[in-house]
Amino acid sequence: MKLTLKEIPLDSPFALINEQNFPKAITYPCQLRISFDSTYFPVQAYLTSKYVDKGEIGLSESVIKRYGLLEGTEVDVQTRRTFDSVAHRLIIDKVKGNMLNKEDMDTITKGFMNAEISPSHSSAFLLSQHFTEFSLDEIEAMARSFADSGKIHDFSAPVFDKHSIGGVPGNKITLLIVPILAAAGLLIPKTSTYAITSASGTADTMSVLAPVELNADEVFDLVKKTKGCIVSGRDMGIAPVVDKIITEAAFPLGIDPESLFLAGILAKKLAMGVDFMCLDIPVGTGTKVDNEEDGRTLARLFVSLASRLGIKAEAGLTYANVPVGHSIGPALEAAEALDALAGKGPTSLVEKSCELAGIIFELAGMTGRGLGKPFAADILHSGKALKKMREIIEGQGGDPKISSDEIREKLVGKPVLSYQAPGDGWPHTWNNYALKEIARAAGAPGDRLAGIQILSKKESVRKGEEVFRVYASSDSALDEVRGLIAKLRPVIVESVLLERVA
């Protein structure tokens, strides 16, 4: 609303506003934003029935001076009706130790969807989860509320899913697991995200092979034919509040509380109507979970929550001290996935994919316990998974004949850095964090062709032999890569004799 500026005799950073300017009473300071010309500033406002009239906003001399304003100027004032909201009160009650039920969570969810939660309160919601442990009831309620923030899809048949909590570079297993399962007749309408902090999200990698931006109708039509797909799902309205909360609260603080993280995953599964799923928990230095004990606790919590939500889940702790496979970055990972589907993949990638697909076959009752993995491996080795993947690529609008060679040809001419062994030995320690940062500095995932190709992951090398190669977007990106390699030491190549002490 347009209000006229009035100087008030208070040396305060806040504004005074006449209560008649508001349709309903606001008893708490409310957050306003005042704009004029091409600038603006935020200010806390208190209501008054006297000091300023209807149509006026009062600011102290110091505030007026600071922003170069003049008394009598008309400014635009906006409020988000935040500080008196029920959602805010619920968040503060939670901070003070109350429990939140489904109805409370619905109110908070609605607050986020309507952009009525102030940054202070979204931070408080996040930190209440960081500092205190949410109960299973609360996480369940949160997951259900989050799911209800968008569309709930019904595929009218059992839906299967695989989800990785992420953190390990090169984890392109979805591109193997989906076609393996779909080839066996299981329905797996897989939605995957773009990378946020990693070098390539599954949506980034898949986008090298086929469009991933399918809407709900297109996904429904597609999986009727193919049983599987790998899409971004961003147009499917899947628990949209989760991304809002992550963007508004978790990113700014760099904190990702377990309860939010679990509720977020499960909300999206509920929205997709998932009935059976396997959770991949990579365990390793530089990933999200660095020891098995923590991984086991997280796994049990997840399985138990999933069960409350009607999802039969099993989790797999997976070895993640090194990248999965030999490639990091969208194009390199897509090429490697195609190779693996054609029977030419690196052992770590094939093994992991078959283990997790196997768990899902067992959950589905298609094989007995312990027989899922060989069943998955059979499908992979028979070529059925590759055939299915080509169907999926075609169904999503890609070229079904795309080959890994064709993808790698596109890399020709890109600025390249070759990392050579400084001495005889073998690459005995890979640094996941460093590899991710280097791949991102090289330009991944924005530049689909940027990334890292590992040439010798475990095998012994001679001095000067190439250990890995970085494809970068530009020479300046390559300079940055060079700096990071020196600083972060992505790999340690050493002989058995580590050091001589005289």
Q: Which residues bind a second copy (CB under 8 A)?
A: 10-14, 28-29, 31, 33, 35-36, 38-40, 44, 48-51, 76, 78, 83, 92, 95-96, 118-124, 127-128, 130-132, 194, 234-235, 243-244, 247-249, 251-255, 443, 446-447, 473-474, 476-477
Taking a C-beta distance cutoff of 8 angstroms, is the pair 169, 282 a contact? Answer: no
Provide the minimum distance between the beta carbon of 331 and a second copy in the complex, in angstroms, as a whole number.
15
139 versus 441: smaller Cβ distance to a second copy: 441
Provide the minimum distance between the beta carbon of 494 and a second copy in the complex, in angstroms, as a whole number.
31
Q: Which tokens belong to 3?
A: 């209000």
Provide the minimum distance between the beta carbon of 201 and a second copy in the complex, in angstroms, as a whole number.
12
Nearest to 253 by CA among 403, 372, 119: 119
Provide the minimum distance between the beta carbon of 124 and a second copy in the complex, in angstroms, as a whole number.
6
Amino acid letter, 86: V
Taking a C-beta distance cutoff of 8 angstroms, is the pair 229, 392 a contact? Answer: yes
Q: Please say if 256 is a catalytic residue.
A: yes
Amino acid letter, 260: L
Provide the minimum distance between the beta carbon of 453 and a second copy in the complex, in angstroms, as a whole number.
21
Q: Which tokens belong to 256?
A: 């990702």
Nearest to 499 by CA among 425, 397, 418: 425
138 versus 447: smaller Cβ distance to a second copy: 447
Provide the minimum distance between the beta carbon of 82 and a second copy in the complex, in angstroms, as a whole number.
8
117 versus 142: smaller Cβ distance to a second copy: 117
83 versus 375: smaller Cβ distance to a second copy: 83
Contacts with 257 (C-beta within 8 Å, 6 or more apart), sequence order: 126, 129, 130, 250
Q: Any idea how long the chain is?
A: 502
Nearest to 453 by CA among 9, 442, 126: 442
Provide the minimum distance between the beta carbon of 32 and a second copy in the complex, in angstroms, as a whole number.
12
Q: How far apart are CA 72 and CA 5, in angstroms?
A: 5
Provide the minimum distance between the beta carbon of 218 and a second copy in the complex, in angstroms, as a whole number.
15
235 versus 292: smaller Cβ distance to a second copy: 235
Active-site residue (options: 93, 256, 378, 479)? 256
Q: How far apart are CA 144 and CA 421, in angstroms?
A: 52
Q: How far apart are CA 298 and CA 122, in angstroms?
A: 24
Nearest to 127 by CA among 289, 265, 253: 253
121 versus 162: smaller Cβ distance to a second copy: 121
Nearest to 272 by CA among 375, 195, 158, 363: 158
Q: How far apart are CA 166 and CA 369, in angstroms?
A: 26
Q: Which tokens belong to 125?
A: 């919601």
Per-residue CA distances from 229 to 27, 186, 187, 331, 398 (Å): 51, 11, 9, 18, 12
HEC readout, 323-373: CCCCEECHHHHHHHHHHHHCCCCCHHHHHHHHHHHHHHHHHCCCCCCCCHH
Q: How far apart are CA 219 and CA 189, in angstroms?
A: 7
Instruction: For residue 247, give the DSSP letter.
Output: I
Taking a C-beta distance cutoff of 8 angstroms, is the pair 2, 76 a contact? Answer: yes
Provide the minimum distance between the beta carbon of 232 and a second copy in the complex, in angstroms, as a whole number.
8
121 versus 408: smaller Cβ distance to a second copy: 121
118 versus 327: smaller Cβ distance to a second copy: 118
Taking a C-beta distance cutoff of 8 angstroms, is the pair 345, 325 a contact? Answer: yes
Active site residues: 256
